[in-house]
Structure 1
Amino acid sequence: MDDYNNPSEMSPQNILQPSDLRASVPIMNSKLNDDISATDFTQTSVQPRNIVEPKRKKRATDAGVLLAIPPPIYYPDLKKSTITTKSSTARTPDPVRSWTSFVEKVESHEFDKTLKQGKKPDFRQYDDVDDISNEEDVRQALSVNMFENLNNITVSRQPREKFKRISTEDNVKGEPDFIYKQRDKLLLAVEVKTFWVLNLKVCESLAEKYEDDIERKYSRTIPPNSGKEISVVDILRQVFGYLVVNNLQYGVLSTYNQSWFLRRPKYEPRALEISPTIDVRSRHPTLFQCYAFVQHLARVDTNSPSPGPTPPSSPPPSDDDSFESSDNNIDSGSDYEESLNSKQKRKRRSKGR
């Protein structure tokens, strides 16, 4: 017989009454408090586990070359000559103007993914008083801290491209300090100057300084001491000449601490467009980004035709092959003069002052 049907188990005295529950609650609470107070939580609490947090993975560009900031070089305060060597291949650009969209174009450019994965460079410091004393020292610093790193991030590109010093087998006209080549194809030219020869103030435009120096040169009221001022006329004629005689559209002018990126538009090959001054410590954009952008432009659209002895009456379409002309009058070493219109404009500006 089932035990739950045993009448003796179901007697009234064995049934738990509500009053019994109310009476037992204080006793249970008291007992619980005693147990809690007697517990040593310093011994029984759960010890934290040694959790190793995963390292945050940096974006490829964070450690790459393109966002790296090279250190500036130290130019000692020496009394150096501001005279620059005149080149036999020098040519006169007309007009000279600012490449106003350059910075915006660099910052909006979608760089090749392979360029973003380069290892962050280990730069050499040129901060001692004896490190930089002449143009060759500047060339060496530029080669070590800029061009070697740019070559490293383009090493996988085929056909192989690289910055290099010129040699006889390069078949380059003139003597630019560096060239950027793709096998046997010349892509752009780089000219290096020292701080003592070329140095612009913050926000000073190289294109505007050229126009001011030209006007000062042709003015009949030149101050006696104006010869001591740095003039950029011969410098720009020199680098522009390298672009002309090699039929190039792009070039670079640099003192290492300051750089300017140049364009000789194929639709207006007598013109020279100059970027704003890019400081070596610039972050938006970086100097490496500027170089990589111009490398891309020179790669996809390298050449600009010879301008000939006179400027065209109107710019032809950019893809007009009929505008190509020979370099016979370029190789002779004779420089073409500035247009009469340009001289007349400067003359009127001088009279207005």
Structure 2
Amino acid sequence: MLGNMQMHRLMGIAIAVAVLAVHTAEAASRIKDIVDIEGVRENQLIGYGLVVGLQGTGDGLNNAPFTRQSIQAMLERLGVNVRDANMRTANTAAVMVTAKLPAFATQGTHIDVSVSALGDAKSLQGGTLLVTPLLGADGEVYAIAQGSLAIGGFTVQGDAASITRGVPTSGRISNGAVIEREIEFKLAAMHSVRLSLRNPDFTTARRIALAVNDLIGSTVAEPTDPATVKLTLPKNFDGNIVDLLTDVEQLFVEPDLPAKVVIDESTGIIVMGQDVRVSTVAVAQGNLTVLVTEDPTVSQPAPFSDGQTVVVPRSQVQVQQDGQEKKLAVVKTGITLRELVDGLNALGLGPRDLISILQSIKTAGALQADIEVM
């Protein structure tokens, strides 16, 4: 015989599967795609190393003293004394190595690393990264990187011209680092976790809690703020917190976002959310162009006179106003985003003019949304 909690769980899963087709037709997303689980995160790693094997495109040792010091220290560790030597190599470059340590990564697994030139190296093409410890924020070594670089750019230089494609001073090493230290995090032993919304919202947090509680059949999820939903493991649940998260993350929830208009004035891009509304408003637009042309002339004195040759300024000013035949256009209350876009497009304006009009409509109090200028 199945327990009551297990029966509720199976019934909840059956209901979730039954309504899956309905949710898919709407703007719904899986919970795993809109939240992060507390403690399940990546960690940044960083290290300093040397890339060797370059074809004369490395750091100039006179301009990069840290590269000279690194070469000396490396060779001394290998038993070569070059303390007083005059090194002139250009086949070595100092680099910064970065990587992301995945959650629950175990010792011996490999991760990708990114390598970027630190000095005045022209290219890292054909280089090999020497053994480089990668440190975490706590100063401990979590991985060791080494390997041949793969870059996405190149530089070809002649006597009078050069061609550069991409960024030849940065590259990647696939599986170039080996994890040496694990981050202890026992998720299965936890009795409660927090789900962090990637886009905080009161309505979305409540919808997630309701969906989880409907699945389990009891109150196990509680929204604590717009960005957090606390998930508690039921006492008689047949499994651990990992089993519960596996069921929860497959649920579909329709996220709710505030009405917002995002404007990038440098590129003329306008992005409007689904819930943007505009009250009925009349709009007129015209471009005023003032053209000033300077055409100075030279005035010569009469022959055998005491006059002087002077330059007489001559300016022509023209005023042109585009769209003089345009009249006030009425943008009616936008019931949907499509109607709002169609109403603005009916004015026959470009993105630059639409940006000014949207800001003016917001100033007039007719735009029911926030404007964010990037």
Instruction: Please report the TM-score for the alignment, with normalisation by the length of structure 1.
Output: 0.20
Bigger radius of gyration = 1
> Which gives a bigger RCO, structure 1 or 2 (Cα 8 Å, sep 6+)?
1
Which structure has more strand as a fraction of its residues? 2
Instruction: Please report the TM-score for the alignment, with normalisation by the length of structure 2.
Output: 0.19
